[in-house]
A and B are shown apart, each in its own frame.
Chain A
Amino acid sequence: MLAYIFRRLVWMVPSLVAVSFLAFFLIQLPPGDYVTTYVATLAASNEIVDQRTAQELRERFGLEQPFIVQYWKWITGILLRGDFGLSFEWQQPVSGLIWERMGLTLLLTSSTLAMTWAIALPIGVLSAVRQYSVVDYFFTFIAFLGLAIPGFLLALVLMYVAVVHFGQDVGGLFSEEYQTAPWSFDKFVDLLAHLWVPVVILAVNGTAGLVRVMRANMLDELHRPYVTTARAKGLSEIRLLIKYPVRLAINPLISTIGWMLPQLISGATIVAVVMSLPIAGPLLLQALLSQDMYLAGAFLLLMCTLTLVGMLLSDILLALVDPRIRYD
């Protein structure tokens, strides 16, 4: 078991290196650089920046150096000093801008994950046990519908309904008075009061997918010989169901946590833009549009790292609950 976790941890190293490389590559990709954008913005307001000033700016940010040197500076800064560089647009260190937003991103995605599981498991089991019944058809249809509605559309519709019919704005994660307030218990309660809306919206997609997977897994397991064996021992149907097929059908599902996390983060990004949630997504989008490369890079790196860590945790969890993997 320890050996397995160790091997899995060792695997994280090249993945993290690749992710950091990818993130840096992506933010370097757009033609021109922040200075170009900056100069263009100034020019639009009739301010002329001469070539020398632009050149100075480039030198200060080290934008002239070769890719690998810039990458090395960037990644060592992060690893050694926790320094993610300077946000051009905000004129302050990136590390000051990201952590709260990443924290809220994590909170949002993990609550969504918990909710998804809590809803999808019983429905998946029920659908499988009552295969081809009205209940099964109903939930199957709902699940397909959930898969077909993009999260942002759902968010828009919900906001429309809330505004038009209830005169209420459901966007954001905080009420106005808490938006800039320091953290306090009241602020946390306020957060929870707002959090459930995006959680529900995000959970719809994941739940729908998970119901399908759980149903299929259960159908596979329900007709295995060990179920007959358990039945021959005299267990009641419900106890038998929970102890054997459900227990085994969950195992492949645990590895889906790993796959769901990237999807959740993706979904959260766009829903957050629509609902103007103070999480990573909207700021990433803004940073990408204004070529604020270090800010965008930090978000990309952290979001990818988050999913990699999620994968790692789901793999370890799977090994904990499934002895076959542990002994392999």
Chain B
Amino acid sequence: MPLESCMILLDNSEYMRNGDYIPTRLEAQQDAANLLVGAKTQSHPESTVGISAGTELLVSPTEDVGKILNALHGVPLKSLGSDVTASVQVASLALKHRRNKNGSQRIVLFVGSPLNGIESRALQKAGRQLKKNNVSIDVVAMGELEANETKLQELVDAANGRVIEGQERTCHLVTIPSGVLPSDVLASSPIVHGGAGGSAFAASAAVAAAQAGTAGGGGGGDGFADFGGVDPNMDPELAMALRVSMEEERARQERLAAQQQQEQSSQTAAASGNGESSGDAEMADGAVAAPAPASAAMDLGLSEEEALLQQALAMSMNENEPAAASSAAPPEEDDEAAAMQLALQMSMNAEASSASTSEQVSELVSSLPGVNANDPAIQSALKNLKKEEKDGDKKDGDKKKKDDK
């Protein structure tokens, strides 16, 4: 719960003598107010709480719990019925002149007497006034008074204002059935834990624990992502088990990805190999075109594309050699060490073969009919061949990415 100034409005009319709560309404109300004071002051060190009974202000908002409790215990019964609108106005005046202007303002109103003389219009007006002054109101209805229920609901609705979809309500109405301790009901109500959850108030430890559990289970707790969304402090064994299983799954996925990469590269090699066998000048085209779909499928970075291209070229150049041919076959096992060795071997092959690429191409060019291999234009074209291949590949890759977008 964030910083808050809170006024607790007690009902001290004669109706509070009623014994429907144990021991009396008045003392049950006192007990509930006690709990509230504890919850509010402990949730934030600068939160202040004030007490008023009827229209009489007993303590203006203060951090001093002793003062508050002292006032709580000396609440005398008055013969007059309580005027809810007047007492709400007194409380909002006390909140208006609070010392610490930071933080929100809240009124917690206890009602245990029938609201006979009060029109619902007056209550709605009071609610709107609260809303305008950014004061939230929580109402605790005691004694099953049916006429009260609708009127208080109107007050709370007016104070809530327009409810926007997905937004948390700030004002609440809690009705306490007779025979139940009001403090028990309040401890699990949004009035005590702020509605937004995340309270660590010790007195309602069980409530807090349940909340933490649901927050984690809902996947909201990012801090526990390693433990599968379970707070490790709550259930260490379960958290460890989840963590181990998540790590295993991650390792399995990594192995799978490595394997797929190997298969892709071997496919690329096969494609460029076809290009070489089918035609002479088309070879370069085949080598350029083949990696592009592969890279698009795997969504690799540019540098990885280049490495892949080099691997493919190297393998297509060395296809005649038996060692390279066997290495081009997809690995049987998902053995990481073997994959590593394979990758090393291929990268070494790529280095070794880069020199031979241009030689082979020049041979092919010279063997073509009607082409002079010594022509300076062809010579320069051959020199730039490798560079062009790379550039072409880059452009192709960029285009692919744009298309993907």
Whether A associates with B in a native complex is: no
